[in-house]
Amino acid sequence: MTLKHMKIFLTVSQENSVTKAAEKLHLSQPAVSVAIRELEDYYGVALFERLSRRLYITEAGKRLFDYALHIVSLFEEMETTIKNWDTKGKLRIGTSITIGNLVIPKLVRQFEDFYPQIDVFVAVDSSEEVEEKILRNEVDFGLIEGNVHYENIEFEPFCTDDLVVVCSKEHPLAKKKLVRMQDLKDYPFLSRERNSGTRELSEHILHQNSYLMTPAWESTSTQAIVNALAEGLGFSVLPQKLLPSYQNHQKLRRLNVEGLSFQRQFMIIYHRNKFLTPAAKKFIDLCKKWGENNQESWNREKLPEF
């Protein structure tokens, strides 16, 4: 099988259409269909099911897609690197919002001291979207909070972090020295959006403690949640180290909730079939060293008084 077969297969998979793939590749529809048939004959499996004039990728097709994506990517990376050997390369990093705020800027600055010729692209998004970017090969590796959801993604923890329960200083909950779970149920819960690492952990822990969560707010913006909390609109669970970076955080107070602890891990993630360049491995090494050097002080540091 040739690289051309792989590129055609990837395009058909991504477009879910032979016609659209042919247009995108500037090929005839018969040429695209022949390439897919040759792949299926060569491997002895059906790569697509054809139902009601629509294509549905099979399980075998999904497995081939995984390999083909990285074969084509590695080839294109080789082409770019070798042709521009005397100029520079590019490193693509996906990061969740908390890590993007607290960790990535320092690490990128350190990395540039080692590899000034490498352009660093950083995509800050929800943890689940970073995983999706890994699967689509849109980033070389990622840094996320919490659990990994796909078996094709390898992960390594490099630091732990805590979330805290917060509300306005003027909120009735703020008057209590010890808050019970039952107390929380009387007030609206303001949450990050679905698929964020913060949302997933807070939802999991609250459910474990018999709190059936139906958020009054869902927001991709932590600043929006902080502003709403400052107005006394409810309570939330947010990253402890991230809060001081937001306006109005002085109007908030941490709550001591009986029996609740929100600890999560920061993860380095990458596709199991991904070829990691020396530059990528260097950045990952910087992440691990940052975790080793900062974890103790990270845990020991007193939380700011809001």
Average pLDDT, integer, range 79-85: 63
Looking up tokens 């999706």 gives: 132
Confidence of residue 300 (pLDDT cuts 50, 70, 90): low
Mean pLDDT of 167-187: 89
- How many CB atoms are located within 10 Å of the residue 168 CB? 21
| C-alpha to C-alpha distance for 303 and 306, rounded to whole angstroms | 9
- Burial status of residue 123 (CB atoms within 10 A of its CB: 0-12, 13-18, 19 or more): middle
Domain presence at residue 211: yes
Question: Has residue 277 been placed in a domain?
Answer: yes
Average pLDDT over all residues of the chain: 85
Q: What is the pLDDT of residue 84?
A: 54
What is the sign, positive or negative, of the torsion defined by CA atoms of 293, 296, 298, 300?
negative
Q: Is 78 inside any structural domain?
A: no
pLDDT (tens digit, 9 = 90+) per residue, 232-273? 999 998 888 888 888 888 899 988 888 777 788 899 999 988
Structural domains of the chain, count: 3
Q: What is the H or E stretch that residue 49 is in?
A: strand 48-51
Helix axes 59-83, 29-43, angle to 10 degrees: 110
Domain assignment present for residue 85? The answer is: no
Whether residues 200 and 248 share a domain: the answer is: yes
**Which CATH number do you get for residue 144?**
3.40.190.10
DSSP 8-state code for residue 242: T
Does 61 map to a domain? yes
Are 172 and 243 within one domain?
yes
Residue 197 has pLDDT above 60, yes or no: yes
Tell me, what's the pLDDT at 225? 92
Q: Mean pLDDT over residues 285-296, rounded?
A: 85
One domain for residues 108 and 63: no
Same-domain pairing of 148 and 173? no
Report whether pLDDT(175) > 80. Answer: yes
User: Is 226 found in the same domain as 170?
Assistant: yes
**Is 207 found in the same domain as 125?**
no
Q: What is the mean pLDDT of residues 16-40?
A: 91
* Residue 225 belongs to domain spanning: 161-262
Residue that terminates a domain, selected from 34, 68, 102: 68
CATH of the domain at 50: 1.10.10.10
Closest CA to 141 of 160, 121, 126, 161: 121
| pTM of structure | 0.66
In a domain, 213, yes or no: yes
Our CA dihedral for 290, 294, 295, 300, rounded to 10 degrees, sits at: -170
